[in-house]
Structure 1
Amino acid sequence: MHTGERLGRLVAAGRVVASALPVDTNPVPSWTHLTKVDPEDDKRLPLLYPRYLRWTDAVAVGGSTAVTPTNTEATFALLSAVDRPVFHEPSDPTHVTDRTMDAAAFIAIPQVLNGSTDAIVGDLGAGIERVRERLAPAMVEERVPWWTPGVVRDALADAATTWLLATAAFEAYVVQNPDSAAAREAGVTAEDVLGPAEAARRAMVADRYLRAPVVYIEYSGTFGGMDAERVVEAVDGAVSRSRVWYGGGLASRDDARAMLEAGADAVVVGDAFHEIASEERAIFDRARDALPDDASRATVADWLSDAAAGDTAAAAYLSTVPGVADPTATAGRLLVDTVTVWLRLRAVAAGTASDAALDRAVSAAGVRGAGPAEADEAARRWSRAALGAVGGSATEPLATQLSPAGDR
C-alpha cells in the first residue's frame, strides 16, 4: 500500500471516529435565527438596521436577482456597523471579491440538491475555477515578496485554493418554490419539488457523503406551512451532523415556532426584514410636515400611536426572533427611536443643526461603539449612508439603499 493511500485511509478513519464522538464538529455555529440581507439595489434597510440586527444570531448576505460584485461589497460595508457575524452566501462566483472575503466571517456555498446538474456541479466548478484562477493568486500576490520564484507562487496559490475551499461551508439546498428566482436559477421545476421521504434521502447524502454543514429547506418568499413542517421533520430525522435551516415567508411568531418545533435548528428571515424599510417610507412621508426637527421622544410616541397603529412590519420581523419576549412593544420603541433620529438627521441635512447634532443623532441611534476605533468608524459609515439618503431628495425616505451611492 502506498504512503498516500495509507494517509487517505487514516484521514477517512479519523472522520468516522470524529462523527461518532459525542461532540459537535460542525463548523457552522448552532444558531436559531438568521437574517438574510439582499444586496439588490431596490432592497432597502431600516434606518436603525444595526439595532434590529442585534436580535438575530447572524446575518447572511446574498440574493438571486440583480446582485453584483459592487452592491455586494457595498452591503458588507454597511453591515460593518452590525455586531453580529456576517457571512456571504453568493449565488454566483463573481460576487466573491477580495473585499467580501475580508469582510465575511465565512463563505456559504449553495448546492441545490433538487435542481439541474449545472446547479449542483457546474456552478460549483465555476466557483472553484474562480478561486484557483483569481482569488488564490491575488492572495499570494498580496502576501509574498515580488522576488518569490514563480514555481513557489504557483504552489502557494494551489495551497491557498485548498485552504479557501476547506474553510467554506457548503449548504445543501432543497428549493421548494418552483415559482421563485432561486428555483429559476437552479433549474427547479414543479416536478422537482420533493416530498418528505425523498427530501430525507437527499439530506442523508448531504450529511454523510457530502458532509454539508447545513441542509437548507428553502421556500423562497412563500410560507411552506404543513407541507414544509413535514419536510423539515423528515430531514431533521435523517441527518446526524448537518444543521437544518428553514427559510421562506416567515412573518410571525407562529410561523417561526412551527418550523423550529418541526426540527429546524434555525429559521432564516429576509423579506420581513426589508419590509420594515417600506413601512418607514410611509411613516417618514407622514412625519415630514407633522413633526418639527426637535420633537421629543414623547411627542414622537404620541404621534406614532395614531400614525403607526396596529400591526407593523417591525413587529412582524421581531416576532420571528425567539429571544424577543414582546415584539410589539420592542418594535414600538424602535419606531419611536427611528423617527426621532430621522428628524435630527433631517435637520443636519438641511443645514439647520451643527455637527454636534449629528453626533447626538448617531448616539441616539445606538450605533456608536464605546471606545474602539472600528466601532466609531462603523458609526460614521452609518451616518454618512443615512445622510446620503435623506439629502438626495426631499421625497426620499431615510431608508438606506444598498448601492455605492448609498454608502457615502
Structure 2
Amino acid sequence: MKEIHEWRHLFKLDPNKENDDTLLEAVCMSGTDAIMVGGTDGVTLDLTLDLLSRLRRYAVPCVLEVSNLESITPGFDGYFIPSVLNSKKREWIVGLHHEAIGAYGDYIPWDDLVAEGYCILNPECKAALRTEAVIPKTIEEVVSYAQLADQLFRLPVVYLEYSGTYGDPELVKRVTEKVEHATVFYGGGIETAAQAREMAARSHVIVVGNALYTNVKLALSTVKAAREVAKPV
C-alpha cells in the first residue's frame, strides 16, 4: 500500500448500502489509490466482512474507517481511526478510543492504524447529528482545528468532512496552506470531474462516496480528474 501522503483519490464504500459486483469491479479497476470502507449507521460485522471478501478479489488497497467497535475485523490493509475534534461528546474525541484500547490493546496492530483529526462541516449530515458536532462559524475556527490536529497532536490526517454537500473551496485551500505535516483529506459532495479538480487542487486527497450510488459513471471520472491538477505543497 502506498504511503498516504502519496494518495490523491479515494473511493469510500458504505457496507450498509447496495454494493453489487458490477459496482465493485468498476471501483476497484478505476485506478483510485485505495478503497475506504465505512459509514455512519447500520455498519455491522457481517456487512463489513461480506464487502471485504468481495473487495479482496482485486489488488487495490482496502482500509477500514472505524465507526464502531462491533464492525472491526482483521484483513484490511489499514485502519483509519477518526477523532471528531468539533464534537461536544467526549466519546467521539477520545472516549471510544480509550474503551477499545482497554479491551483490545494487546491485539491492536498499531503499525496499521492511521489517526484522523476530523472536522465535520455539514450540520445536516448523519455524522454531525450522531456526534453532536459544533459547526465552526468561520474559516479561522476550522484552521484552528486543523492546526490542533497537525501541530499539537501531530495526527497524520486532517479530514474536512462535508458529507453529502459540496464544501467551500476557499476554506479547504486555507486549511491546506496552514497544515505543515498532516495529509489533508476532503470529503463531501464531489459528483463531477470539475468538482474533483477543484478540490484536488486545494487538498491532498479527495474522498468520493455518495456519488458512487447516484451516478457511478460521473464518480469514476473523478479519479483521472484528481490527477490532472498539481497537488498542493
Q: Fold match, TM over 0.5?
A: yes
CA shift in 2, pair 1:33/1:324, >3 Å:
closer
2: distance between equivalents of 1:130 and 1:178? 32
Letter in 2 for 1:71: L
Q: Work out which of the residue numbers 199, 208, 217 in structure 2 matches 1:269.
A: 208
Identity across the alignment (%): 31
For residue 107 of structure 1, give the secondary structure of its aligned residue in structure 2: strand
2: distance between equivalents of 1:194 and 1:236? 18
List structure 1 segments (4+ residues) > 6 angstroms apart after TM superposition.
none
Query: After superposition, where does 1:4-403 map in structure 2 within 5 Å?
Result: 28-40=4-16, 42-45=17-20, 47-55=22-30, 56-96=32-72, 100-101=73-74, 103-116=75-88, 117-132=90-105, 157=106, 160-161=107-108, 164-189=109-134, 192-224=135-167, 228-261=168-201, 263-275=202-214, 313-322=215-224
Letter in 2 for 1:74: D
> CA offsets, 1:118-172, max 9 Å, x none?
210212212222322xxxxxxxxxxxxxxxxxxxxxxxx3xx55xx335310011
Letter in 1 for 2:115: F
> Mind listing any 5+ residue stretches in structure 1 that lack a counterpart?
1-25, 133-156, 276-312, 326-408
2: distance between equivalents of 1:194 and 1:27? 33
In the TM superposition, residue 186 of structure 1 has moved relative to its aligned partner by: 1.4
Q: Greater share of helix residues, 1 or 2?
A: 1
CA shift in 2, pair 1:232/1:114, >3 Å:
same
For residue 251 of structure 1, give the secondary structure of its aligned residue in structure 2: coil
Give the TM-score taking structure 1 as reference length: 0.52
| Bigger radius of gyration among the two | 1
In the TM superposition, residue 323 of structure 1 has moved relative to its aligned partner by: 5.5
2: distance between equivalents of 1:321 and 1:28? 16
2: distance between equivalents of 1:197 and 1:46? 43
Aligned length: 224
CA shift in 2, pair 1:318/1:240, >3 Å:
same
CA shift in 2, pair 1:211/1:36, >3 Å:
same
> Mind listing any 5+ residue stretches in structure 2 that lack a counterpart?
228-233
Q: Greater share of strand residues, 1 or 2?
A: 2
2: distance between equivalents of 1:165 and 1:183? 28
In the TM superposition, residue 104 of structure 1 has moved relative to its aligned partner by: 0.6
2: distance between equivalents of 1:218 and 1:53? 23
1: distance between equivalents of 2:111 and 2:93? 18
> CA offsets, 1:51-108, max 9 Å, x none?
3322211000100011111111111111112221100101112211xxx32x111110
2: distance between equivalents of 1:69 and 1:52? 22
1: distance between equivalents of 2:86 and 2:226? 35
2: distance between equivalents of 1:31 and 1:252? 19
For residue 122 of structure 2, give the secondary structure of its aligned residue in structure 1: coil
Q: 1:173 touches 1:216 (CA, 8 Å); kept in 2?
A: yes
Q: 1:178 touches 1:193 (CA, 8 Å); kept in 2?
A: no
Letter in 2 for 1:230: E
Q: 2:13 touches 2:35 (CA, 8 Å); kept in 1?
A: yes
